[in-house]
Amino acid sequence: MQSVSAMHPRLNFKSRLANFLKFTSSFGALQILAIQRRL
């Protein structure tokens, strides 16, 4: 696994970016739901 990530740094970066976007989008949705519940 380490050698693959070393051989393809771009692919590793893209996968990390995708995971980060998924996390932020889900977190943002949770924040929106919390705000709607307060209102």
pLDDT exceeds 60 at position 4: no
Give the model confidence (pLDDT) of 14-34 as tens digits. Answer: 999 999 999 999 999 999 999
Q: How many angstroms separate the CA atoms of 39 and 19, rounded?
A: 31
pLDDT at 12: 85
CA-to-CA separations, 14 to 17, 25, 33, 34, 38, in angstroms, rounded: 5, 16, 29, 30, 36
Q: How many angstroms separate the CA atoms of 38 and 5, rounded?
A: 44
> What residues does each domain of the chain span?
2-38
Q: Is pTM beyond 0.85 here?
A: no
pLDDT at 29: 92
Quickly state the pLDDT bin for 39 (edges 50, 70, 90): confident
